Chains A and B, each alone.
Chain A
Amino acid sequence: MKSLRRIAIVLVVLASTARVLPALAASEGPTQPLATVQQAAAGLPSLLAQLPDASYAEKRSLIKQLLELHDARVPRVLGALLDGGMYVRLEDHQVFIVAGEGSVVELTDPLTGAHVGSAAADDLGKVGVNNQIRKELRIRLAQFALSDPDEGIRLNAVREMLRAVDPDSIAVLRERLAVEPSAAVKRDIRAGLALADLDSDDVKVRLAAVHTLGESLNVDVYNRLSTMVQSAADGGGESDAQVRAAAQTALRGIDGKRKFYSLIQTLLYGLSQGSVLVLAAIGLAITFGVMGVINMAHGELMMIGSYTTYVVQLLMPQHIGASILVAIPAAFLVSGVVGIAIERGIVRHLYGRPLETLLATFGVSLILQQAVRDIFSANNRPVETPAWLAGSLQLNEVLAITYNRLYIIGFTLGVFLLLLLILKRTRLGLEVRAVSQNRPMAKAMGIRTERVDALTFGLGSGIAGIAGVALSQLTNVGPNLGQSYIVDSFMVVVFGGVGNVWGTEIGGNALGMVNKLLEPYSGAVLAKIFVLVFLILFIQRRPRGLFPQKGRAADG
């Protein structure tokens, strides 16, 4: 969404400069073949040139003509005029927008918005306006913003007007309400009108206004209603008891809604934290869950993924935005290859001895940690966040979610679905499942179990690497990154049910949500301890996890 809008803005700017440049070139030449074609655009410069010498009455008519051009550059010009930032250069009668104070000021071309140098303040004359024009300009500018095709700009305009409601803006808002297509903008306009109605002398009007305001989540509205329910003696309080009671009810309603939205926010945060857990655990669900191999170096494979992201960013410092997209396959490959090396070198010799595997891979994790310390230093490495991952999505006035949280939820889901696809729909997946169910039988059927083992381990490790890319955007990238996730990852896999990728997905998200729901009451650390204790107790009740694999073996 955001990047789209940014592109749109860039396009608009490009288009407007493309339109202006030929016009400027044409005005320099002796012949003007393009003049008639460019008349609409050329109207703006000519109208602008007339502004400095016009009388106040003429200025009003010029402003009217400017507005009729429906040019995207008009608000800038009029805004400058309103703020008293429009000046004319005395020697050549060129109009500029001026910024800065003092004897030397910076000049901006009102047509292109480009910086065009500086000038001595004494060489410039101010283009003056009177109060009547100022008032008109304010309304016209608001109107202009209100008729913008972009809903976001309209919303901002309405909110801007809500800050200080006066009769003029009320008139503009009423006008707009009739033609406004967007429900969100309409809602805000109604809130604005109702705010103004609160000053009415008519009790009925005030009562109706309070009822309307009960629908709004705006902070200004909330503050206004709060002052209304104070006793009249404190000043600002509502004199009529009935209206005050209505305001009380409205406030209670708003509080309820706010609680509801903050619950949704908590749940979304929980979902995103759960997604991090799932991402960390899902590779383990393959190596531990499907193959039955305890890989204590799993966390370090994630760490390798994070460091791969860092290295990719070092290699392409000009394209941080794209670096993440490059890092995902790169991390998959690097971690996958390291994983296959671990499998071929160590784990292969220890199948059927899970406790020994655990110890040997823990040794590998120590070696990898120290290797990273020696190669990259023991300090955390800075991994940049691309612009398209920053910022947040404002759903309404009380509910905002940062983009990286949304991305992590979507990304985890994508990785999960991809993994499911590989396991259920590819030949490798079929072979993996066959080997995990009955190794000797799979071998007898001609499956090369050694190769399948190596590839499965590589797949699980590669996914750990991808998780590392995501983690590099969320936490510090340092040698201890893996260690802090290893216990959690194992708990998620065991909780969800070993050998079950679905269980990991659901289990991880559930744990993340429980954690976030507890946090407001107990603090982050205690919430985590509660979750761990809960898990320990849960495994006693259901040793095979949420979704156990069905089987007939007595020993498992």
Chain B
Amino acid sequence: MADAAALRAEAFTGRLWPALQADRGGRVFLSVLAAVTVLVPLLNLIPAAGSALHLSSYTVTLLGKYMTYAMLAMAVDLVWGYCGILSLGHGAFFALGGYAIGMYLMRQIGARGVYGNPNLPDFMVFLNWNELPWFWHGFEYFSVAALMVLLVPGLLALLFGFLAFRSRVSGVYLSIITQALTYALMLAFFRNDMGFGGNNGFTDFKDLLGFSLQSPGTRMALFLVTALALGGTYILCRFIIASRAGRVIQAVRDAENRARFLGYRVESYKLWIFVLSALLAGIAGALYVPQIGIINPSEFSPANSIEIVIWVAIGGRGTLYGAVVGAFLVNYAKTYFTAAWPSMWLYALGALFVSVTLLLPNGVIGLVKARFGRPR
């Protein structure tokens, strides 16, 4: 058994290195990520506040937020860019992961809430509930919440994907029903009776694993964990794509019926990549919520999920690092526009959607590759 595990580990590294060596963009991305991971804490902690080199905690949190978005975009790229499944509901998996960790954070508030009830979160006291609903039990433990971050989006994706792929729902039909899925979830989470805070969702978190969420140290730790998770996600996805299964998945994208007629179980491959992608989205959501400090049902809105797809499209689909580039570009633009010209943001985003699909089918990365890439 131990030998088998060792063999498998060797196979993993044995395949990963060649994969990374062939992947120039990936090397650039991982180097930049490593540099950021080292530099950001240094610039935040060492130079005095007010110095030109100082990086404010606000910026650190912003970067952390962009990184969770980048993870989410990578999850979408994994299914869309490599398997041709355009999910317009990935925001749902992200939000479910966020809600799972949010429940843990709500339980950590304890008696420090506005109403001072040691057992019930504020919104339940407000709704005149007397005891915790059954599905809230266990969320006082971090381990349970962490498990749920994986289980809830994973099981939903498994069930949904199993039904959808088995009956060969594909293309735009799949996109439309994923959209309906997130829409239905949004409506459900907006209801007060669901027991997830209704309209307002969860906010006013106090601490995570005993560390105050307000302290710069905790924020920095969250940033580092997010950076590691982003790097890890990239390496995992790259490995999967380079593997044999990864090639089958790309074959499914390019010619689904041909792959099926060659004897591959197309449905199983699609299901698994979809579930994996949902898990990654859930983790991204779980990292997002403690940094942002709020989660509410608008995260489920169909428009949000479509926006994720445009990050991927702008960066360049089917490259993984392109998704990261797209997520950073669009979200930086969003932060900038909504502060500088709020009314221009939707015009800019709309124009991005139109121009990228019309003029840049391979995204920014495609543009860069055409300029500097080696001729094929």
Q: A487 at interface (Cβ–Cβ under 8 A)?
A: yes
Pairwise interchain contact A369-B346, C-beta atoms closer than 8 A: yes
Taking A532-B180, A539-B177 as known contacts, 14 extra A-B pairs with beta carbons closer than 8 A to each other, sorted by chain A number, are A296-B306, A354-B172, A359-B357, A360-B358, A486-B302, A491-B176, A491-B180, A494-B176, A525-B188, A529-B187, A535-B177, A536-B184, A540-B163, A543-B168
A354-B172, A540-B166 known; A532-B350 Cβ under 8 A: no
Q: Interface 1/0s, chain A 318-351, versus B by CB < 8 A?
A: 0000000000000000000000000000100110
**Lowest 3 A-B CB distances belong to which pairs?**
A363-B353, A367-B350, A366-B350
Pairwise interchain contact B187-A494, C-beta atoms closer than 8 A: no
Pairwise interchain contact B361-A356, C-beta atoms closer than 8 A: yes
Tell me if A's interface is mostly helix, strand, loop or mixed: helix
Q: B224 at interface (Cβ–Cβ under 8 A)?
A: no
Which residues from 256 to 285 on chain B have a C-beta closer than 8 Å to any C-beta of chain A?
Answer: 256-257
Choose one: B257, B302, B347, B356; the contact of A367 (CB below 8 Å): B347
Q: Interface 1/0s, chain A 517-556, versus B by CB < 8 A?
A: 0000000011011001101110111010000000000110
A362-B306, A529-B187, A532-B184 known; A370-B346 Cβ under 8 A: yes
Closest to B181 in A: A536
Q: A4 at interface (Cβ–Cβ under 8 A)?
A: no
A349, A359, A370: residue with the most chain B Cβ atoms closer than 10 Å: A359
Pairwise interchain contact B176-A366, C-beta atoms closer than 8 A: no
Q: A374 at interface (Cβ–Cβ under 8 A)?
A: yes
Total count of chain B residues near the partner, CB < 8 A: 44
Determine the chain A residues whose CB is within 8 A of the CB of B148 once the complex forms: none
Choose one: A357, A366, A369, A529; the contact of B184 (CB below 8 Å): A529
Tell me if B's interface is mostly helix, strand, loop or mixed: helix
Closest to B260 in A: A554
Q: What distance in Å separates the Cβ of A69 from its nearest Cβ neighbour in chain B?
A: 65
Number of contacts between A and B (CB, 8 Å)? 121
Pairwise interchain contact B191-A525, C-beta atoms closer than 8 A: yes
**Interface on A for B, CB 8 Å cutoff?**
294, 296, 346, 349-350, 354-360, 362-367, 369-371, 373-374, 483, 486-487, 490-491, 494, 525-526, 528-529, 532-533, 535-537, 539-541, 543, 554-555
Pairwise interchain contact B176-A350, C-beta atoms closer than 8 A: no
Determine the chain B residues whose CB is within 8 A of the CB of A369 once the complex forms: 346
Q: Interface 1/0s, chain B 74-95, versus A by CB < 8 A?
A: 0000000000001000000000
Closest to B190 in A: A525
Determine the chain A residues whose CB is within 8 A of the CB of B172 once the complex forms: 294, 354-355, 358
Determine the chain B residues whose CB is within 8 A of the CB of A354 once the complex forms: 171-172
Cα A340 to Cα B172 in complex, Å, equals 22
Choose one: B176, B188, B354; the contact of A363 (CB below 8 Å): B354
Pairwise interchain contact A543-B169, C-beta atoms closer than 8 A: yes
Determine the chain B residues whose CB is within 8 A of the CB of A350 once the complex forms: 357-358
Determine the chain B residues whose CB is within 8 A of the CB of A355 once the complex forms: 86, 171-172, 175
Q: What distance in Å separates the Cβ of A63 from its nearest Cβ neighbour in chain B?
A: 65
A and B contact pairs by CB, cutoff 8 A, 9 listed = A360-B358, A367-B351, A487-B179, A487-B302, A490-B180, A491-B180, A525-B187, A525-B190, A526-B191
